[in-house]
Chain A
Amino acid sequence: MSDYQELIKNFERIRDYMRQFFLYGFKVRREFSEKSARTYDNERRRIESCLADYIHADFTSRGKQISVHIDIKQLSSNPLYAAWKSKSFTDKDLLLHFFLLDLLNGRSLSPAEICDQLAQYWEEVPDLQTIRNKCREYERLGILKMEKSGKSHMYCLTPPDPWESTPVFQELMQAVKFCSEAMPFGFVGSTLLDREFLQNDLFCWKHYFLVHTLEDQVLLSILDAIGEHRSISFENHSTRSGNRTQITGLPLQIFVSTQTGRRYLCLYYFPKRRFNCLRLDCISQVKLLDICPEFELHREKLQKNRISCWGVSFGGYSRMETLCMKLSIDEAGEGYILERLQREGRGGEILKVCSNTFLYTGTFFDTNEMLSWVKTFTGRILDLQCSNQAVLEKITTDWERMYQMYGEE
């Protein structure tokens, strides 16, 4: 492992490993068949370093087993943000960063003047072109502001906005403590807290899926495309089959599950003229293509259609499917079950049939997606009917198997 470096050049390199280690927490070297043993060792070491506080190592007959133990309720911030903070750089990058922040604070200098000033501190001052490039890069990032003075480009630090020195800034930092974990691209909030040397000391979390952050660069590219109404092409890596396919479509919206920990890209798939949802964690190498003039039309159609999705499936080519579930609920003592039906039923109709008996009826594209939810009511379903017989057979078979599994004490 002599070539091991803690920092990395390409985020994609760490994305898959970190996801698998974090989720499964138990993969050994030979289970990562796609890359070499050395790559496995290096990535494992990097992840062990990032998640040092949460790593447990056990030696078993199958080799050294790394497991990640994280109790989300005890976390202040997402430890996987460490991956975003591990980009490699050169010595010159780091030195120039701090010298520029110092030299250009409150005054404007041209790259040549910066060069002269640097010579006071630094024996091996970079050449003028390197300084010009760094200034341009920092201007692009928003750190520096450029003004022309004759033929010279004069750079200074972007001056802070007046509100940054008001009490609103303190209020903002409290909000950022929340948003850096709860909002899309929370990693950006984490950089804002870093900037103030602050940490979240106000919030903790429940039902928090840390692993989403690893998809955020892909998400950002897709949102750029949505903003510009552009089609995209990308590689889709099926986790089940292992197949990698190139897909082209018009991205319309991001579907997020707050319960299963998955995020999906919903796109209009031109060849089949249908909406389709694909998991974000399976998507890589997003390329923006041409603007689609019909974007608004497709998005409107999606808004109309998505109320008929239980989850992310737009169904087959058949008509809508209806599922009716008759439930036994003790009105006096089990009001919370009725509340569950109302808040989790996604618009399905709830009728009181008679005392302590309620009927839930939902009509969706694909009732197969409802089965996990239906099973959460196991033990109180008096009757179940579905217009899709295959779905009905599937769940009754499941209950039969569960009875075999648990029926005998």
Chain B
Amino acid sequence: MELFEEIYGSYFQAVRKILTDAKKKPLTPKEMEADIQNISSFESTLVILPKLLQGAWHPLLVPEGEKLFSCALGTAGNETDRNFLKPPLTRLQKSWLKALLADPRFRLFFPKESLDLLEEAFRDIEALYHMEDFYYFDQYEDGDPYGDPVYRSIFQTVLEAMTARRPLLTAYRNRKGAERTLEVLPCRFQYSPKDDKFRLLCVSLSKGCLRDFHILNLSRIEACHVSKTPVPKTFDWDISRYQKQEKEPVRIRIYDQRNALERCMLHFASYEKQTVYEPATNTWLCSIYYDPADETELLIALLSFGPVIQILGPEAFLAQVRRRVKRQHELFYGLIE
């Protein structure tokens, strides 16, 4: 099977969007442009629009007056069909879905009866891959208990609240084992393949007012239910404003040793960063932007590179590195006078 097929392409998708919208009501070129840019790049607009309006793809549209165009298709009586121009599921898509059915994380989303129905529906489909074909050798060993019925039930309740945009009342056990009750607005799940954990990004509510941003480990939510508390009208469900980054990035110098550049670029690929080459020293200077909550994680990841990188700043970050390195030296060789 091929992944690289034109039917999955952004041009096909953009044209389908235009045609389905133009079936509902005639569109202006400006509206078509908006459809294209929601799906594809700006450059695509320069190709798709002229082809549809005056070029080779014009049979798909019918001009209505000077500035409006309706869809030429749908004459077979299927224009009201909600699946109008929606392609049937392909073999590749079905085969991928079949592969997912074996994954306990995928199964979290469904009650048992839905899983039974899907298993029956995909019985004769060959899976695109098998879980045992993959070995995640450095994944942490304390991942979430996806098969645990209590965990599954909590996941589904959180998902229900998030989808319905309702508050959630939770009993949460923190890292030190202390329990507390929190009413939260569940904004997004965060998943880390390294930790093999789901976390809930949420904002707490108290007496109907917005309080703090929290990241809750899903496995530490002991019980929860959707609450009837009204959501404050001013609340913005977009969590990006809560996900802060330190103003000053960590700056490192990468030496041309032990393939450090490539290793660093890969290891820190999930961070926003900027790297420039310094010809005079044949080194690379890299600035890594990070969430303050991840500072320790970033610090130990940088230490793992040893002397093939040098941490240059900011000063408070550098002081932590100095302290650890000095302490290590003292542990091995005793105090230096």
Contact = CB atoms under 8 A, between A and B. Distances in A.
Contacts of B175: 336
Contact of B103 (A102, A183, A194, A395): A183
Nearest to A213: B3
A182 interface: yes
Contacts of A257: 136-138
A32 interface: no
Interface string B32-74: 0000000111111001000100011101100000000000111
Contact of A71 (B6, B109, B267, B289): B289
Contact of A253 (B114, B134, B194): B134
B211 interface: no
Given A142-B89, A311-B137, A183 B76 contact: no
Given A378-B303, A381-B331, A87 B142 contact: no
A269 interface: no
Given A102-B85, A202-B189, A378 B76 contact: no
B128 A188 contact: yes
Interface stretch (B144-152, B166-174, B226-234, B270-278): B270-278
Contacts of A25: 273-275
B117 to A, nearest CB: 6
Given A141-B91, A256-B136, A178 B189 contact: yes
B135 A88 contact: no
A94 B11 contact: yes
A81 to B, nearest CB: 9
Interface string B1-31: 1111111111111011101000000000000
A382 B331 contact: yes
A171 B109 CA distance: 7
Contacts of B75: 102
Interface string A114-155: 000000011100000000000000001111000000000000
Contacts of A270: none
Interface stretch (A35-43, A287-295, A314-322, A397-405): A397-405
Contacts of A271: none
A86 to B, nearest CB: 7
Interface in A196-210: 196-197, 202-210
B191 A74 contact: no
A203 B189 contact: yes
B96 interface: yes
Interface residues of A, number: 140
A260 to B, nearest CB: 5
Interface in B94-151: 94, 96-97, 99-100, 103, 105-106, 108-110, 114, 117-118, 121, 128-130, 132-142
Given A89-B11, A95-B59, A171 B3 contact: no
B262 interface: yes
B245 A71 contact: yes
A153 B237 CA distance: 53
Interface residues of B, number: 135
B191 A205 contact: yes
Interface in B161-202: 162-163, 175, 188-196, 199, 201
A338 to B, nearest CB: 12
B194 A258 contact: yes
Given A102-B76, A378-B325, A381-B331, A372 B305 contact: yes
B325 A342 contact: no
B10 A85 contact: yes
B334 interface: no
Nearest to A92: B56
A226 B301 contact: no
B134 A254 contact: yes
Given A50-B41, A85-B13, A185 B57 contact: no
A95 B306 contact: no
B3 A106 contact: no
A105 B76 contact: yes
B13 A262 contact: no
A49 B17 CA distance: 20
10 contacts: A71-B245, A87-B8, A102-B78, A159-B88, A164-B89, A172-B97, A172-B118, A204-B191, A398-B307, A399-B329
Interface of A: 6-7, 11, 22-26, 49-50, 52, 56, 60, 62, 65, 67, 69-74, 82, 84-89, 91, 93-95, 97-99, 101-103, 105-107, 121-123, 140-143, 157-164, 166-168, 171-172, 174-175, 178-179, 182-185, 187-189, 191-192, 194-197, 202-211, 216-217, 220, 223, 226-227, 239-240, 253-262, 266, 306, 309, 311-312, 328, 336, 339, 342-344, 346, 371-373, 375-376, 378-382, 395-396, 398-399, 401-403, 405-407, 409
Given A52-B42, A91-B56, A402-B325, 7 more contacts: A82-B41, A87-B4, A93-B6, A163-B118, A197-B17, A207-B195, A379-B325
9 closest A-B pairs by beta carbon, nearest first, are: A379-B324, A142-B91, A401-B307, A91-B56, A175-B109, A207-B194, A188-B96, A89-B6, A376-B300
